[in-house]
Amino acid sequence: MTKKIFFLVDVNSAFLSWEATYRMQHGAKIDLRTIPSIIGGNPKTRRGIVLAKSIPAKKYNIKTGESLRDALKKCPTLEIVAPSYEIYIRASNALLEILKEYSPNIQRFSIDECFIDFTDSIRLFGDPIEVAHIIKNRVKKELGFTVNVGVSSNKLLAKMASDLKKPDQVHTLFHEEIPEKLWPLPVDDLFMVGRKTLPKLNQLGIFTIGDLAKSNLPSIQYHLKSHGKLIWEYANGIENSQITLSDYADVKSIGNSTTIPYDIDSKEEALLYLLSLTEMVAMRLRDKNKMCQLVAITIKNNELISYSHQRKIYYSTDLTNDIFDEVKKLFEDAWKKDPIRHLGVRVSDLINNEEKQLSIWDKKNEESLRKLDSTVDELRQKYGNSIIQRSSFLHTGIKNINGGVEKDYPMMTSIL
């Protein structure tokens, strides 16, 4: 039986690398990757969280997920850039096209990570480690950003290998290399060991992955139940899942949210924010060739008390207008008339486009609306989020909620 070989291709500081690459390709003089910089939040109000950081920013101990306020305390000269999701989708798709040349068995694990089952491709391309280097170098030369490639006999070890040292590296982590490369690492470096699990492991005297691997399994199961068995197996390199041929692994929902720098107390303004969020959610839904059958919203007031509302819909859709119709109904039902500081939109119960069944409830103009949405998506992906916007957003300042980069292109306004 042929030994399985998996790659995990991981984009280094994905959002920041993609943003920097795009800007350099369009004439920027400063590479964001060479200065303390982050992607996240609003660069004008300096509110939000860090989504990605440059290597120079790491020297200031800036962490992904922390607030911009805390990050700026550590580095007052930090360059802040709002996220540009349309650019990131295009960059991710371009990476996928290169990877498809080496194997049809690819699992898009997230927007910046892809698993490849390279086993059957060895006969065509030869030594896997040499091919991993070829892929890494091609991405850097042709697309302008760097990746790490982890190589191993299962997906878990390939993923752990990709994280060993960054950026622009190829690493192997086969079973015989586990004691040397994996076991000395802190236990929270292990996939599936999170912030809640770490203190429990530390209380048991487990501080490294090796400590966990050598620990007594029944004891780990007693304290951590089935999750304990899972991470004990991972610490010992035991994992047998296969490639899932889907756009993203186990996509269950798609959402988008924003924290607003001031209190919103008018329904009209809240709906404008929700419309902007819905546009991004629907665009991502269409990009993944999915339709939704459940819509949900989240509201957080100025005292940071959060509540949500959801609705199962009787049809499946990827149309912006359909989803927003449901969002409006949900907001009407849910809002307690308190000042709003945070809003979110999420869709779930996803199905593939080809699984959609005809219904007597289908709108007569559905195909026209779908073509319109598709055209808007293409324009925004090509020219940026600002190239076309709804007239309701004019003069509101809300058009940039999704992080679209302002361009010098002439503005086009739809009549929606």
Instruction: Given the residues 86, 113, 239, 326, select the one marked as catalytic.
Output: 113
Per the document, the length of the chain is 416
Give the SS3 label for residue 387: helix
168's tokens = 């622009």
Residue with tokens 């409830």: 361
Query: How far apart, in whole angstroms, are the C-alpha atoms of residue 404 and residue 397?
Result: 12
Structure tokens at 76: 């007052």
Beta pairing class for 306-317 and 6-11: unpaired
As a whole number of angstroms, the distance between CA 294 and CA 313 comes to: 6
Six-digit token string for 289? 């060739």
Contact in structure between 277 and 301 (CB atoms under 8 Å): no
Which neighbouring-strand residues pair with 299?
307, 343
- For the question of residue 113 being annotated catalytic, the response is yes
Within 13 Å and on the Cβ side, how many CA atoms surround 301?
Answer: 10
Calpha distance 8→189 (Å, rounded):
16
Instruction: Give catalytic residues, as residue numbers.
Output: 113
